[in-house]
A and B are shown apart, each in its own frame.
Chain A
Amino acid sequence: MSTTRYTKDHEYIRVDGDTGIVGITDYAQSQLGDVVYVELPEAGKALEKGGEAAVVESVKAASEVYAPVSGEVLEVNGDLEAAPAAINEDPAGAGWFMKIKIGNASELDELMSEEDYQAYVKSIS
């Protein structure tokens, strides 16, 4: 069974064993507005927790997407290049950014649970 953990910067990581799918939350996409461009890393790139992993651009502005945990990029969602609107329509599904190999599982403990994240979003909106 997979569990999903969240950052304060509104990234999620859906953990499955020693890999995880990274994307941005529904709250993040609603704040960004219409996404028009995504810059994804190359497969094989080493990510550091909190470091820049991708760039997402809405009509308004460019925003960084940070790595929720350290690890290595295994695969990126190439469909986003032609159809970045998937990030708005289905951020937790078709709008995923990348799959990573988790470098240090203990870093997951520093992230928020679903319940904590929902409370966090409520507190800032």
Chain B
Amino acid sequence: MAQSGETLLKTPLHARHVAAGARMVPFAGYDMPVQYPLGILKEHQWTREKAGLFDVSHMGQAWLNGPDHATTAKALETLVPADMLNLKPGQQRYTQLLTDKGGIIDDLMVVRPVDPAYDGRLFLVVNAGTKDGDYAHMEARLPAGVSIERLDDRALMALQGPQAIAVLSGLCPEVADMTFMTARYVDIGGIEAHVTRSGYTGEDGFEISVAEGDAEALWDKLTAHDAVEPIGLGARDSLRLEAGYCLYGHDIDTQTSPIEAALNWSIQKRRREEGGFPGHARIIREISEGPARRRVGILPEGRAPAREGTVIATPDGAEIGVVTSGGFGPSVGGPVAMGYVATGHAQAGTAIHLIVRGKAQPAKVAKLPFTEHRYKR
């Protein structure tokens, strides 16, 4: 987090945000747009209905370089619980860097490049606020011959929403047949780009990595389309909350395991059986016996949003957990939250109380996501 007096970093798209009239705020050491003149509510709805363009250049992009795929994948597997060895060329996967106790140091996306010339490389995207720590953590643990190469000279944009495909395929027809969680190198009107069909909103869409010198040109090409509006961090947060995604440092951190965080789906069978990742014993125990607490969705019954830190209690008043993300869900049309509750209370439909400003507000444990994912499978 930025300290007062510290100089904030700027992404290659900073001038575009300022020119568009964005309200800029410090975020993870960067001066970032929290909203544009449209406002958070309308930006959220625009993304769900059309296509929103997000500058996520503050996130960390890096190569993990090794001599061949098996060597690089196995090196990464010593740090994360997902199956990297069996990633197909052009496939993307979500995973977590873990502490020795199975806590989450960061969550990240990994791509195995489709181009055989890049055999032995994995492309990583990590969170902005954790990237320096992540790279140091990995460098200290990687075997000889496998190393991190930071790509600090690249920008990253996310184009999200039901019309994202029409917009991007209009500039680059070959993205049309990409499926969710796959990656490709493409030419977008003369700009070399690494594109994945993925995102953080629950909508179909793309994340597009380009050289920083090409960022403004691509931003201009995309925002020139009538269906595209720039979207700030405010709506990015409400969109991901409705989509049930964890925000690092809030819903997951070094004290939460992937099983407590209900990320079981991200640990493939082979890794569960073979182990060989940090915290394996705890994670296997939590899978078989159930964790002591679990991340759940929460739907308040009234209109009052329950923010991060709100105490969760039983209707009898016994404290059973805490809200880790909460606010107003524009597409849900009311307040939504997520948080951790003692496992006996994690069933969807369980009646709970949220202690908001000293008053108990009735709520129910709810299934995640709050809004249906609309991916291109």
Contact = CB atoms under 8 A, between A and B. Distances in A.
Q: Do A and B bind each other?
A: yes
B362 to A, nearest CB: 16
A34 B41 contact: yes
Contact of A59 (B41, B303, B357): B41
Contacts of B238: 59
A37 B40 contact: no
Given A37-B335, A39-B357, A62 B39 contact: no
A121 B234 CA distance: 24
Contacts of A34: 39-42
A98 B238 CA distance: 30
A57 B356 CA distance: 12
Nearest to B327: A59
A22 interface: no
B304 A59 contact: no
Given A33-B234, A36-B328, A59 B40 contact: yes
B330 interface: yes
Pick from A33, A36, A55 the residue with the most CB of B within 10 Å.
A36
Contacts of B91: none
Interface in A58-75: 58-62
B357 A60 contact: no
A81 interface: yes
B59 to A, nearest CB: 21
Contact of A39 (B304, B327, B335): B304
B335 A59 contact: no
Contacts of A37: 303-305, 328, 335
A59 B328 CA distance: 6
Contact of B330 (A57, A59, A81): A59
A36 B357 contact: no
A60 B308 CA distance: 11
A55 B234 CA distance: 20
B325 interface: no
Contacts of B40: 33-34, 58-60
Interface residues of A, number: 13
A60 B39 CA distance: 11
B294 to A, nearest CB: 26
B39 A81 contact: no
Given A33-B234, A36-B328, A57 B304 contact: yes
A59 B307 contact: no
A60 B27 CA distance: 14
B127 interface: no
Interface string B105-137: 000000000000000000000000000000000
A33 B304 contact: no
B273 to A, nearest CB: 44
Contacts of B41: 33-34, 36, 59
A57 B302 CA distance: 14
B160 interface: no
Contact of B39 (A33, A57, A61): A33
A50 to B, nearest CB: 18
A9 B6 CA distance: 27
Interface in B18-41: 34-35, 39-41
A28 B328 CA distance: 19
A57 B357 contact: no
Interface in A25-50: 33-34, 36-37, 39
A57 B335 CA distance: 11
Contact of B305 (A33, A36, A81): A36
Contacts of B335: 36-37
A59 B238 CA distance: 8
B234 A60 contact: yes
Interface of A: 33-34, 36-37, 39, 55, 57-62, 81
Given A33-B41, A34-B42, 11 more contacts: A34-B40, A37-B304, A37-B305, A37-B335, A57-B305, A59-B40, A59-B238, A59-B327, A59-B330, A60-B327, A62-B305
10 contacts: A33-B234, A34-B41, A34-B42, A37-B305, A37-B328, A37-B335, A59-B41, A59-B44, A59-B328, A59-B330
Nearest 3 Cβ contacts at the A-B interface: A36-B328, A34-B41, A59-B40
